[in-house]
Chains A and B, each alone.
Chain A
Amino acid sequence: GDSVTQMEGPVTLSEEAFLTINCTYTATGYPSLFWYVQYPGEGLQLLLKATKADDKGSNKGFEATYRKETTSFHLEKGSVQVSDSAVYFCALINDYKLSFGAGTTVTVRA
């Protein structure tokens, strides 16, 4: 079946550092790919999405590009802030079935 693998955390960074969270997937057909963010004490929010190969999703300074050749959807942000501290989940939906990665906890220090 479909699956999502994302880098394990926790990840600790200083403010203004560059953030990359790796995500790779296994799926048949043409899944859509997502990144969700969960801030402390809150639910999951959709951060960005990409629905086909080479699409780039972007939001709040975060970007991820749907790479079919490497089956990847890595999340990047050029300069993180303390407010970016959260758990980030990579996910895919394929034929209405959702698969989540295990989540990566990111802590940004001032």
Chain B
Amino acid sequence: DTAVSQTPKYLVTQMGNDKSIKCEQNLGHDTMYWYKQDSKKFLKIMFSYNNKELIINETVPNRFSPKSPDKAHLNLHINSLELGDSAVYFCASSQTDHTVRNSPLHFGNGTRLTVT
């Protein structure tokens, strides 16, 4: 059973298009994240949701909009795609209530977005 699953695995699209990446976790975690990994493997957090509420929103263009319909899902919608958006996007989840202090993140396998 895949703990954190994201789709699609690969996404190739043209500049200006709008696309979405979906993420689901079956671990019962209360917090979900989106990370962007650039070509040098550097990981940058984009968003974090706790129980469907946005708790981290780093400096990300407002073309990126996360949506959390329930605590097991966190989707990422990107409007007006640009060349610089090409990267690998990772979804992750963790349990952050006070009963599990500093629990690790569990990552999906990533979505490689290529904008042409």
Contacts and interface: CB of A to CB of B under 8 A. Distances in A.
Interface of A: 31-32, 34, 36, 38, 42-46, 49, 51, 87, 89, 93-94, 96, 98, 100, 102-103, 105
A71 B90 CA distance: 28
A36 B43 CA distance: 12
Interface string B74-116: 0000000000000000101000100001111111111000000
Contacts of A44: 43, 90, 92, 105, 107
Nearest to B92: A44
6 residue pairs, one from A and one from B, having the closest CB atoms: A32-B102, A43-B107, A43-B109, A44-B107, A93-B102, A103-B41
B106 A96 contact: no
Overall SS of chain B's interface: loop
Contacts of B45: 98
Overall SS of chain A's interface: strand
B43 A89 contact: yes
Interface residues of B, number: 20
A5 B81 CA distance: 32
B96 A96 contact: yes
Contacts of B4: 43
A80 B31 CA distance: 35
Given A43-B110, A44-B90, A96-B96, A87 B105 contact: no
B114 to A, nearest CB: 14
Given A32-B102, A38-B41, A51-B101, 6 more contacts: A34-B104, A42-B110, A43-B4, A46-B106, A87-B41, A96-B96
B107 to A, nearest CB: 4
Contacts of A87: 41
Nearest to B43: A100
A36 B103 CA distance: 13
